[in-house]
Chains A and B, each alone.
Chain A
Amino acid sequence: GESVGLHLPTLSVQEGDNSIINCAYSNSASDYFIWYKQESGKGPQFIIDIRSNMDKRQGQRVTVLLNKTVKHLSLQIAATQPGDSAVYFCAENIPPRVTGGGNKLTFGTGTQLKVEL
């Protein structure tokens, strides 16, 4: 899972296996969550999002699971490919009724996914 610090947690998987990347979010009032993929030296790319009134959402080869009871989010990647190698991080949206202002996106530190051939 993600953690604060200089060294990103790393997940190594074999090509073709499924990957599960975890994220512990901070605020129980967060109402929207996003997963991003970031390749080295590039900007983050949107992968999938989920609203807090859902517990599962599927995309192409990716699934996001949300467990509000334990404030946990996971990203599952099916049949992992070498092109999936990147840093993956989650973001949570904290709504105005909590921030006292507007919506606020807070980002996790990320997990490095390495796909071995």
Chain B
Amino acid sequence: DGGITQSPKYLFRKEGQNVTLSCEQNLNHDAMYWYRQDPGQGLRLIYYSQIVNDFQKGDIAEGYSVSREKKESFPLTVTSAQKNPTAFYLCASTTDPSKREKLFFGSGTQLSVL
């Protein structure tokens, strides 16, 4: 089945630690996105990538980093510089970001601080 796979489902971070969230899609989508979801708030864009080896900062990129070495994969690293990392992280993809197309979402990763 085609889709977006995020792992792990739950992740715990210690003080000063970097952690990486995985996102893989087999939909052959060019564009991929990372969003952060906090209780009672709308999704906020962290980073996005429209093509391999290229990515752009979203609205809340500070304390995060990404890479896009393969079309299928768009991992997100939450660095120690992100002081409030506890949130639900969602990866999404779409065929052509220049068109008005719906985003497909993964099932999310809940990140908590130990």
Interface residues, chain A, with chain B CB atoms under 8 Å away: 4-8, 31-32, 34, 36, 41-46, 49, 51, 89, 93, 102-103, 105-110
Contacts and interface: CB of A to CB of B under 8 A. Distances in A.
Interface residues of B, number: 22
B42 interface: yes
Interface in B91-114: 97-98, 100, 102-108, 110
Contacts of B35: 107
Contacts, number: 53
B53 to A, nearest CB: 18
Contacts of A106: 42
B90 interface: yes
A49 B39 CA distance: 24
A41 B97 contact: no
B42 A107 contact: yes
A89 B42 contact: yes
A7 B90 contact: no
A100 B90 CA distance: 25
